[in-house]
A and B are shown apart, each in its own frame.
Chain A
Amino acid sequence: MEGSIHEGRVRKWLASSPPVAWTFRQLRELLIGALRQGPIPQHVAFVMDGNRRFARDHRIETVEGHNLGFEALARILEVCYKTGVKVVTIYAFSIENFKRSKHEVDALMAMAKLKLGQLSEHGALLDRYGASIRILGQRNLVKPDVLEAIDRAVALTAKNDKAILNVCFPYTSRDEITGAVKKTVDTYSQPIRNPPSSLKRPFSETHITQHIRNQMLGEGSDDVSEQSTSRSTSPSSSSKEEKSTHTSATSTAFSPSEKGESNPGAPNFLDPETITAETLTDNMLTSGAPPLDLLVRTSGVQRLSDFMLWQCHENTSIVFLDCLWPEFDLWNFLPVLVEWQWQRKKIQEQERGRTRSKSD
């Protein structure tokens, strides 16, 4: 792919002649089938970077570069889903991208609308992949007509559950994290009407005092009980009795707060201390997706650019490739996948070794 896209006519003609094309297609299928034999990442994310530079390098229009980028996406999605990746997340449009020229933004929006519209014409075919589309991002930044196309495509594929395509469209990760924090705070600041029984301890105080009283009554009637037990139990029981009388005496003082739990008038909240990383993860836009295994960014830029920060900062393998996104294909993705499989195998070996050394 040196120089202009129009170069290498003969080679291109040869490559696109039906028998050669057929052979390549068979070869692709074979490789994909072979990859399936190894461990496969469950969740892969792509930052589709380099469409505009590709267009500039090949002296074609920026919009055409984005079109070619969409083709690359289609190719790579085919590879992902055929190898068995469950969730693919793509960074289609950042909130920051609205700063680009109006012409380009409009063209991108039109493309999204067109492609999603085409997609919606083939409901039956989508079922073959069993993939459902989800759009992650700020809906209110999208124009109504595009939103309509989005909603149609999402609704059409909602019932598919074999694979998921997350399209991040007006998205930034900080926006997502903020949303998750807000949502969490929202849930925790809603008063609970009927406190679920799980929050309450399964023991009732009245039942315990009753039990103690019964026990004391039993002891009082039964004088023949062993000295040691009566000696040991009687002080404790008396102290408990004191406590119970104490609580009953002070119950008037405590009653507002205690009764507040059952009283619907007074606000009763979930305990903020129960907030964990899982709470936030569940409130992220990618909730329910398996942890991100692999993040690929093309075009040699080594930044996350506000993408999947929460999801990728722990154990995700992040790969930066030098090729531009429209050139990205199975042939670039294959080494990445194989290396991931190789690393995964090594990690598994290490873990196995560690458990073995521990058991020794």
Chain B
Amino acid sequence: MASTGITPKESTAFRRGVVNGRPITPKEREDMLKPFLPDPPPPLPSPAKAQAETASLKPRVGPVRNFVHFVIYHIIAFVFSVFFRFRRAWRLVKSKVVALLKYHHRTPEFIQRDVKHLDRLPQHLSVILDLHENDEDQGSAGLEGLVNDVCEIAAWTASAGIPFLSVYEKTGKLKGYIPQTHRSVSQTFEAYFGARRKPTLSVRAPHVQSYSPPLTPPQSDSAESNDPTNERQHLTLLLLSATDGRDTMIDLTKTLADMAQHGTLKPKHIDANLIDVELRDAVSTEPDLLILFSPKVVLEGYPPWQLRLTEIFHLPDNKGVNYQVFLRALHKYAKVEMRLGR
């Protein structure tokens, strides 16, 4: 409170509406406010006077004051840019250290140990990934890098025991490679869990049939039929893109408008419930937790309707997919209480 530049007399006037022990009048309040207000706007700009006014306005701002502002702005910008860079470096070092301490070693047991003490896990986890066009970001460039990221995240998710993962990637390039993605993720599962314990997987995208090849289950079933205690986990992987956001909302509106024009629907029957049901069927349910691997929170067109109460996690200045972001997101999620406005 020290730094607001407001005297106690003013603040009691503001809070209680009292000055010197009696209620404040509108006139007094105006007088008290005067020093805080910006300059009065010029009287109604009549076209003839407009030029003269701007001329008379300029000197009032003052070139000296303007110059002082300019200098201070650049000092602030410089100081902060140094600060931001140092902070980024510091966070990078910190995350590297944590990454060394907490590594999953591609074994589900390690991941299970990391999440074991969490009170609750999201049932629907969502991540936003980027497709890096150029080769600047080594290791994660192009479609191959993207599929790698998806594989790793899917394996962590399955290890943590989360049944549903949706992956948002703006361009939707992955949607064209669903069988290939399925194969890659299955391979990663095998590397993590081993051939006998690996979770089953189905990959789908909105408006595309769920892809889960019937080839693998019978094979492994025959191998495990004598092991009834082993109930294998299942992971559903949903691929989302920018078209599942606004475009789907627009398509829905078009359909509704069409129906209204043919008299099969009255506009007054449209409510949040109807839209919710339609979008849930067409796209996805609300994710419980959304993890961003980007340095700042920008949603890049993620389906808006579904974001209502989603917990959004990002690690400031983090760049690229890594296990510690995933883990810290789960930790943060477990501590949060849902209040639903209450």
Contact = CB atoms under 8 A, between A and B. Distances in A.
Given A15-B2, A22-B5, A178 B270 contact: yes
Interface in A1-54: 1, 11-12, 15-18, 21-28, 30-31, 33-38
Contacts of A286: none
Contacts of A12: 1-2
Q: Is the interface of B mostly helix, strand, loop or mixed?
A: helix
Contacts of B117: none
Contacts of A130: 41
Interface in A198-255: none
A272 B254 contact: yes
A106 interface: no
Nearest to A13: B8
A174 B272 contact: yes
Nearest to B25: A121
Interface stretch (B101-109, B146-154, B197-205, B301-309): B301-309
Most buried by A among B5, B14, B69: B5
Interface residues on B, range: 35 or more
B215 interface: no
A290 interface: no
Interface in A289-303: 301-303
Interface string A262-283: 0000010100110111011000
Contact of B298 (A81, A267, A317, A341): A317
B222 to A, nearest CB: 47
A36 B77 CA distance: 12
A1 B84 CA distance: 25
A71 B14 contact: yes
A61 to B, nearest CB: 13
B38 A82 contact: yes
A304 B308 contact: yes
A45 to B, nearest CB: 13
Contacts of A1: 1
Contacts of B8: 16
Interface residues of A, number: 93
A28 B39 CA distance: 16
A102 interface: no
Q: Is the interface of A mostly helix, strand, loop or mixed?
A: helix
A313 B304 contact: yes
A314 B312 CA distance: 15
B254 A320 contact: no
A182 interface: yes
Given A16-B7, A314-B300, A339-B84, A280 B253 contact: yes
Interface stretch (B47-55, B175-183, B223-231, B243-251): B243-251
B250 A122 contact: no
B2 A11 contact: yes
Interface string B1-29: 11111111001001100000000001001
Contact of A37 (B15, B70, B253, B271): B70
Given A30-B72, A37-B69, A318-B297, A24 B253 contact: no
Contact of A24 (B3, B14, B41, B265): B3
A174 B15 CA distance: 35
28 contacts: A1-B1, A16-B2, A16-B6, A16-B11, A18-B7, A24-B2, A37-B70, A71-B11, A71-B15, A81-B38, A82-B38, A122-B29, A184-B253, A185-B260, A188-B261, A189-B267, A269-B261, A275-B253, A277-B250, A280-B249, A304-B309, A304-B312, A314-B300, A314-B301, A318-B298, A329-B3, A341-B77, A342-B80
List the 10 closest pairs (A to B, CB-CB), nearest first: A96-B341, A25-B5, A15-B2, A189-B260, A24-B5, A37-B73, A34-B72, A188-B257, A318-B297, A272-B257
Interface of B: 1-8, 11, 14-15, 26, 29-30, 33, 35-41, 65, 68-70, 72-74, 76-77, 80-81, 84, 245-247, 249-250, 252-258, 260-261, 265, 267-268, 270-272, 275-276, 296-305, 307-313, 332, 336, 340-342
Given A11-B2, A31-B76, A317-B298, 12 more contacts: A12-B2, A24-B3, A34-B69, A122-B26, A122-B33, A178-B272, A312-B299, A315-B300, A317-B296, A318-B299, A338-B76, A342-B84
